[in-house]
Structure 1
Amino acid sequence: MSYWKTLKLYGKITFRFTNDIVKGDFFRFTKKTTERPSFVYAINLKQEIKVNATFESKLYNFSVATQKIDKHIIRPNEIFSFWNVVGNPNKQFKKGRTIQNGKIIEEVGGGLCQVSGIIYHVSLLAGLEIVERHNHSVDIYNEETRFCPLGSDATLVYGYKDLRIRNTNSFPVKFELKVIDNMISVSLVSTIQIQENTLNFEIEQRSDYKYVTVTNQAGAVVNTSKYKNNL
């Protein structure tokens, strides 16, 4: 990483840290714990991990991330921050495929957006509050190669873009992830049953972009996303 790129990154990290302190979010972030409440209810989701040239690196990255996430419980009003939980990708992850400035490249931590995406998707199903989420800028898939609904993704850039989710329930919840062969699964587990939302993904195709609106069973809009068409 170049000197100026490193300087810019740590400038962003410092700005975020200061902003989190001022807003009070820093004190609401989840912390590591060995406590294991009696989680008896779950909302489950599963996705295929597509095989490509960086498949083995992606599996490694997924394994490291899931082990870190497993150490965090989200208590009432606490915020799950992906980067606060997982840490600096440059210190622990391998290179994988990612999208940057509308182009597919290989970068350290590439592929982690599938982990953040499946966490985001199950959070929508559970009706948790999405504090921060960013969709990818480009839709690189078609309906045959897509592993999740368009509009359920959550891209990550360390220092710039995070996934943050607040537990608005009066009881603790937890993300439990597993990677088996070419499948990744997540369970949003809880001590009290959460009513699972039914989500509708409506895609509006325009000449250069796709607009996705996600609504729940009550017809309320839970998110919107905009993507450039396939590369």
Structure 2
Amino acid sequence: MTYRLSVQRMIITRKAKDFFSSTAFARQRPHEVLPEVVYRHNSLIRRKLGNVDLHLQENKAVSLGIAAPLINSMVIRPGETFSFWKLVGSCTEAKGYREGLVINHGRADSGIGGGLCQFTNLLHWMVLHSELTVVEHHHHGDLDLFPDFNRQIPFGSGTSIIYNYLDYRVRNDTDQAYQFLVTTTEEHLCGELRAERVPTVKFHIREEDAYFHEADGNVYRHNKVVRLTRDKRTGLVTSKEQIIENNALVVYDRSLINAPILPERPSPETDELLTAATA
């Protein structure tokens, strides 16, 4: 009861904060599609995640199918902020959402609407390849919960969401509108980020200093996720920024790790060698 009351307090607090805020939230979903593709990505819906019940994966597919039309075609105009929960709302059985995978106190569990973090993972990955500004982002950076299965993006670059106080929000500080196109197929959650004009820069996200290491009888996964900005006209890299650094506790069987496990965390000098090797 205490936990539920605490959750409700957090939900009400967020609603009150938004009500009195001057933030202009994106609300328009026109039928027109913006002309230029900034980035597109398809995310596999059913993935092998350790011993997670496959039934939860099927349920996730249903929940993603319900949420996708609520985001599809959403335009973020200059000065506006995109809020995932503002558009999707609460996930309830009455709306058709089903039990899916959730993370509860560092372990896999199930809950209504579970698996929607895959949706914000997709949005975040596309946004990182644009000039949009991420203003709210949470992730499971302290734990490596599942062994890799056809991983397409760097570890630790995903998102964590809980209605409505852990949100995913993006602000448009540019001088042109952007638009999310999101649909589902039998196998994939498909996304496109579009804009009015072709951007003058291109972004590349990569992983550096990636390794597993042992400490106090536990195994940890370390990496850095960095973003390179490249001028399309000259082809030169104009900036490099570190998005996040992860040092996550591995909670699955170490026999499932398809990489060497170092006896201890490398020194800064070894880190530089690892960076050079993965660059």
TM-score range, shorter chain: 0.7 to 0.9
The 8 Å contact of residues 73 and 182 in structure 2, kept in 1 or not, is answered as: no
| Conserved 8 A contact 2:134-2:170 | yes
Q: Distance in 1 between matches of 2:43 and 2:180?
A: 15
| Separation in 2, partners of 1:8, 1:32 | 33
Q: Contact 2:37 / 2:192 at 8 angstroms: preserved in 1?
A: no
Cα distance in 2 for residues equivalent to 1:224 and 1:160: 24
For 1:98 and 1:147, how far apart are their aligned partners in 2?
A: 21
Give structure 1 stretches of 5+ with no counterpart. none
1:18-59 residue CA offsets vs partner (Å, 9 max, x unmatched): 33345523xx21114335254333311122222422222111
Q: Deviations over 1:161-188 (max 9, x none)?
A: 1111112221111111122222222110
**Residue in structure 2 matched with residue 96 of structure 1 by the alignment:** 100
Q: CA RMSD in A?
A: 2.2
The answer for the alignment partner of 2:153 in structure 1 is 148
1:47 corresponds in structure 2 to 43
Q: Is the alpha carbon distance of 1:162 and 1:224 closer, same or farther for their aligned partners in structure 2, counting shifts above 3 Å?
A: farther
Distance in 2 of aligned mates of 1:160 and 1:225: 23
Q: Which letter does structure 1 place at the counterpart of 2:137?
A: R
Of 133, 136, 145, the residue aligned with 1:132 is 136
Q: Which amino acid aligns with 1:160?
A: Y
Matched, 1:108 2:119: no
User: Bigger CA drift: 205-214 or 111-120?
Assistant: 205-214
1:80 equivalenced with 2:82 (yes/no): yes
Query: What code does the residue aligned with 2:102 have?
Result: T
Paired residue secondary structure (1:197): strand
Q: 1:228 aligns with which of 249, 253, 274?
A: 249
- The corresponding residue for 1:120 is 124
User: SS at the partner of 1:19?
Assistant: helix
Do structure 1's residue 219 and structure 2's residue 240 form an aligned pair?
Answer: yes
Match of 2:231 in 1: none
Deviation string, structure 1 residues 53-96 (Cα, Å, up to 9, x no partner): 22221111111111000152111121111111110012521110
Give structure 2 stretches of 5+ with no counterpart: 48-53, 229-238, 253-279
Shifted more, 127-136 versus 109-118: the winner is 127-136
2:72 touches 2:183 (CA, 8 Å); kept in 1? no
Query: TM-score, normalization: structure 2?
Result: 0.73
1:110 is displaced (CA, Å) by 0.6
Q: Report the Cα distance in structure 2 between the residues aligned to 1:214 and 1:81, rounded to whole angstroms.
A: 24
Residues 177-222 of structure 1 deviation map (CA, whole Å, 9 limit, x = unaligned): 1222222221101111133301122235443543442212222123
Q: What's the counterpart of residue 180 of structure 1?
A: 185
1:7 corresponds in structure 2 to 5
Q: Partner letter of residue 196 of structure 1?
A: K
How many pairs does the alignment contain? 227
8 Å CA contact retained: 1:43, 1:196: no
Residue 240 of structure 2: SS of its match in structure 1?
A: coil
The structural deviation recorded for 1:226 is: 4.7
Distance 1:224 1:132 in 2: 17
Show the counterpart of 1:30. 26
3-state SS in 2 of match to 1:159: coil
Q: Which has the larger radius of gyration?
A: 2
CA contact (8 A) 1:127 1:196 kept: no
Identity %: 22
- The aligned residue for residue 273 of structure 2 is none
Q: Distance in 2 between matches of 1:81 and 1:61?
A: 18
- Does residue 93 of structure 2 align to residue 70 of structure 1? no
Structure with greater proportional strand content? 2
Structure with bigger RCO (C-alpha 8 Å, 6+ apart): 1
Moved more, 105-114 or 175-184: 175-184
Distance 1:228 1:130 in 2: 26
